[in-house]
Each structure stands twice: as structure tokens, then as C-alpha cells.
Amino acid sequence: MFSIKISQIFKHLLIALLTLVLVSACNSQRTVKNRVINADTLIMLSDLQSVRLKTPDFSLYAAYRFTKPNGLLNVYIEGDGRSWVSRYQLSSDPTPINPVALRLAIIQAEQSKDDNIAWLARPCQYQANRLDFSCSPKYWSSHRFDQKVVDATNVAIDELMQKSGANKVRLIGFSGGGAVAVLVAAKRDDVDSLVTIAGNLDHQQVNDYHHVSSLTGSLNPKDIATKLKSIPQMHFIGRNDEVIPVEISTDFISIQKGTCAKQVIVAGVEHINGWKTQWPDLLGSITKDLNCE
């Protein structure tokens, strides 16, 4: 009995300490070190455990919680992160200040204890103090949706599928992670369904909308939209999103000319702000409405 109490006290102290670290990291999170601490702390306070997955071209930071072999693996793909410091200045490191996809993955892990959950960071994120010579700045600017990025993500998902024992995957991508999810889905034959959240489903149209240069080295999800017409899809977009216009997912769905893809416009949500609050309820709509009817 005494040892159990000590263990519980230690656990509570550890959680308190990690929470203090997280708050401290949030207060000075623009440094790369503290952005890494932020994600590490979120993972440590959750049911997930972190791992680095090596692929031929990149080392990808990931986290997972596996509970049910031979089931469905939900893979969250992170957004573009801090790609740019300003409109004209490229960031020196794309690690997100606020890892939205990670936060949403943790919400599902907490809400659905039996679900297999994984989260994948994008190439070159969370690489502080690591020598990854593949991490040219082009991979968080012009080539952020390059074929090597898609291939690396597929290799990482293959490894997660093998570790989990799952036989089907649901791809869930936030922002630029939505673009990667689409491009990955078109290359796999084990995709149960596809979900995007504020997804960049046509970077050419998005960049034209913002009057910025095009992503010359990137594949464009819209170009392969018809390959997904038989996959159940749900594309969430915030009504107040000023980064990705509603028309992006509208056009992406209309090209498919089918019944599998649905658009859900979420009131009171911006590009980043609001998803964490809404996600518990939106998960319910995914379970109910993600089909080809």
C-alpha cells in the first residue's frame, strides 16, 4: 500500500513538473528548443509515446498509441509549421509553434481509449540538435509537397502499420498535412478513409489567392483528386479561415463527381484557432457520416 501511494505521488509530481515546463515553453515558444519541448511535453502528458522513424530521405518525428491489432490506424499528419517568419522571410526551422494535428490526435486518444492513434511530423520538423543533411529549406517552402516527402510519409506509415498490426489506415491531415494526406492516399491500397482539417487541397489556387509565389517543386493534390473518388472523405474548413478559402475544398470535391467526399464548414473556427475546442464533437460526425452515401 505504501509503495502504491509513493508511485501515485510521484506520478502527480511528474505531471505537475511537466505542466510547468509546458507553460514555460508556451511563454517563449518561438525558439526551436522550446517548440520541441512543447511537443515532447504534450506527448509525455498523453497516452502516446514518441519515436523517430528513419526513411531513405528523412527522419520523421512521430508518436503513437496502439491498442487493437488488425484494426484501423488513425494517422494524423502535422501542418506546415513555422515555414515563414514573415511574408518575405523564410524560417530557419519549420517546427510548429502550435502543433495542431498533435493536439487533435491526443484528443482522440483521450476520448476513444480503444482507437489506434499515430501522429507524424513533417520532414525537417523537430530536428533540433540533429544533423539531417536532407533538410534543405526547400522542403518547407517550394518542395514541401515533393515526391520525396510523399514517399517518406508512406514509408513511415508502413512502419506504423506494421508496429500496430492494423490492416487499414485513416489519414487525417491538418493544413499542409492535408495535402500530404491526399498525395499519400493516392499511392496506397489500404486507405479506409481520408479526413482533412483546413486542408491545402490546391496550393496553386491558395498561393494565387494570397498573391505569393507558387510551390514550383511540389505536387498538387487537386491534380490527383479523381483518384480518390471511391475513398470516403470528410474535408473540414473553418468558416473564419483566412488562410485556406472555403472554395478550395469545394472545388476539390466537385472535381471528383461522386458521393464519397463531403465538406463540413465549422462555425467559429479560424485556420488554427478553434479546432481543439470543436474536435471532440467533430470526431462524432466522422464516425457517423464518413461514408460514400
Helix, strand, coil percentages, rounded to 5, for the chain: 45, 20, 40
CA angle at 189 for the pair 187 and 195, rounded to the nearest 5°: 75
- Residue ranges per structural domain of the chain: 48-289
Output the pLDDT for position 246: 96
Contact 121, 140 (CB under 8 A): no
Question: What's the predicted TM-score (pTM) here?
Answer: 0.90
Distance between CA atoms of residues 22 and 41, nearest Å: 6
Distance between CA atoms of residues 51 and 60, nearest Å: 8
Contact 159, 53 (CB under 8 A): yes
Return phi, psi of residue 30, to 5°: -75, -15
Output the pLDDT for position 29: 53
Q: Which fold has domain 48-289?
A: Rossmann fold (3.40.50)
Question: Smallest Cα–Cα separation from 224: which of 192, 197, 188?
Answer: 188
Contact 82, 124 (CB under 8 A): no
Distance between CA atoms of residues 135 and 86, nearest Å: 20
Each residue's pLDDT, cut to its tens digit, for the chain (293 residues) gives 444 444 444 444 454 455 454 444 444 457 889 999 999 999 999 999 999 999 999 999 999 999 988 899 999 999 999 988 877 888 889 999 999 999 999 999 999 999 999 999 999 999 866 666 678 999 999 999 999 999 999 999 999 999 999 999 999 999 999 999 999 999 999 999 999 999 999 999 999 999 998 999 999 999 999 999 999 999 999 999 999 999 999 999 999 998 999 999 999 999 999 999 999 999 998 988 999 98
231: enclosing H helix or E strand:
none
Q: How far is CA 274 from CA 18, 101, 176, 270, 278, in A?
A: 24, 13, 17, 6, 6
User: 61 - beta bridge partners?
Assistant: 52
Grid cell 490527383 is found at: 224
Output the pLDDT for position 6: 43
| Distance, first Cα to last Cα, the chain | 55
Residue 196 in grid coordinates = 482533412
